Structures are given as structure tokens and as C-alpha cells.
Amino acid sequence: MGTFGLTVVRHGETRYNKEKILQGQGIDEPLSEMGFQQANAAGVFLSNVKFTHVFSSDLLRAKQTAASILSKSQFCKETAVKYDPRLRERKYGVAEGRPLSDLRTMAKASGEQCPSFTPPGGETLEEVKARSEDFFADLCSLIVREVCQEKQATERTAGNDTARAGVHSSTSLTNHHGSPEFHSPSMGATEELVANILVVSHGAYMRNWLSYFVSDLECVLPASLTKTELSSVSPNTGISQFIVKLESRDNIKPKIQCICLNRDNHLGDKQAERI
């Protein structure tokens, strides 16, 4: 049916990140000066990727990060960003606006451990997973529809102009990526990507989304990835990239390969603690 590239980026640093205070959904902080520098660095790193679709959490720190990334793009500065509340950070209820240490204290008092502990008014990990699963299912459905529409358009024009037969009638799905991270022999590296998707989200959400990829969709991980790296929260503007192959038959799980996870070498001296 088609193969698409998926790049997932965590938002840049905020003042609350630096001060180790939980934001969740109720604290809508803008990026700090360092956060904007990080977002610009991520944009430079991804500047050679032509994203056909861009999605972002509707929280301010993610919106600003997405805008900064696109501002550095060689191909898609004007690409419209679709803001989706399903990409929001995990809701931490009464713990939002409080130090991370308070959450750990609350978890210990309840006989639980972070991150499985759910503070009053917060989301469970299963609820976050449900959001990520729903978003990803809609994402795959969108790509399938666009591939089918493009195929139909090509078939309609083929009879009138043989020179155009086999050529895409729309440029919206043309692959112009130049990032070597997407070269994946085991997934068919020579196969053209029908789309390149950028998603900007949040640390805890991204960790839960990856857990869904691994546990439910059997995502293939890099051989060098350690268990600690797999369970760690992405640094601010950490970049993860995946190849997603959609099958032509219904009810067949997409094949997913993780090319890199929480990559941060674009940050240089703009590193920040992970929270």
C-alpha cells in the first residue's frame, strides 16, 4: 500500500523544564530562550527533509517548536501545521505546577512508582496509550486515503497522456527527503516514501507512544539500543525517526522500524536535563 517516514520531536525547553516542575496539560508555558535555540537547532538538522504533513500538540511549547523547525526548512516553510489535542502531554492532575519530586513523593506514599503512578485528576498510562493509538490509526488511514486518491488520479490521466503514465499527478506526496536515517534495507530502502510526516509532542506522551509501537505493533528497534535508552524520556527536541510500511490488506498491522530514538547530537552545548 505504501511506506512513509515518521519523525517525532519533543518540544524545546521551557522555564518549568529547567526548574523540574511538571507542566502536563494545565501549565501552558512558552519556550525559554534555550528552548528556542534547541528548536532552531532541530530545524537546521531537519532542514533537508520535505515534510508532507506536520502535526503538533496544541500546547504552546509544542506549537512554538513546530514553527521554529519549519522556519529552517528548505522545502516546507509554508506547510500548514495541524494541531491535535491527542498529542498533548500526559495530564498529571493535582501534580501539575508542582516539582517533579512531589510526584515521586506522592507515588511512594501510595506504594507505587513513577511513571505508573497516576495522581488524582491525572491520566493513567492506558489512557495516554489510547490517545496515541487513536492518533496513529487516523494517521495511517489518512496516508491510505491519499495513496488511493493519487492512484485513481494517475489512472484517469494515463489514457489521455501516455507520457504521464506512472507519474504522480500530485506533488503532495513526493519524497524529497535527504536524511540518511531513512535508509533502511530491512524495510526496503529503495522503496519511495509516499509521505514524510513530522510530529511535535511531549516527553511522557512520546515514551508511551513508543511503548505502544513496541508492545502492540512489534516495532523493530536499533540493535544498539539499550533498555535504559528505551525507557528514558526524550531530551528537549530529541528526534526519533521511524519507517512505517502499510499493508494492502485490512486488519494487518503496519510494519514499523525505528531508525533512531531520542537523537540529540544536533544540540551541541544546548543540552538540558531530561524531565
Q: What is the pLDDT of residue 75?
A: 94
The percent of residues in the chain predicted with pLDDT above 90, rounded, is 77
Instruction: In whole angstroms, give the CA distance from residue 86 to residue 59.
Output: 11
Q: What is the pLDDT of residue 162?
A: 52
pLDDT over 70 (residue 109):
yes
33 and 262 in contact (C-beta within 8 Å)? no
Question: What is the band of 12 on the pLDDT scale with cuts at 50, 70, 90?
Answer: very high
Residue 11 bears catalytic tag: yes
Owner of C-alpha cell 495522581: 119
Stated pTM of the model: 0.88
Instruction: In whole angstroms, give the CA distance from residue 192 to residue 2.
Output: 8
How far is residue 268 from each of residues 94, 128, 180, 263, measured CA to CA in Å? 35, 31, 20, 12
The percent of residues in the chain predicted with pLDDT above 70, rounded, is 86
Instruction: In whole angstroms, give the CA distance from residue 269 to residue 275.
Output: 18
Q: Which of 11, 53, 177, 202 is catalytic?
A: 11
Q: What is the mean pLDDT of the chain?
A: 88
Question: What is the band of 272 on the pLDDT scale with cuts at 50, 70, 90?
Answer: low
Q: Which of 13, 89, 123, 146 is catalytic?
A: 89
Q: Can you tell me the mean pLDDT for 10-36?
A: 97
DSSP classification of residue 220: B
Helix (H) or strand (E) holding 62: helix 60-71
Is the link from the previous residue into 115 a cis peptide, with omega within 30 of 0? yes
Residue 183 bears catalytic tag: no
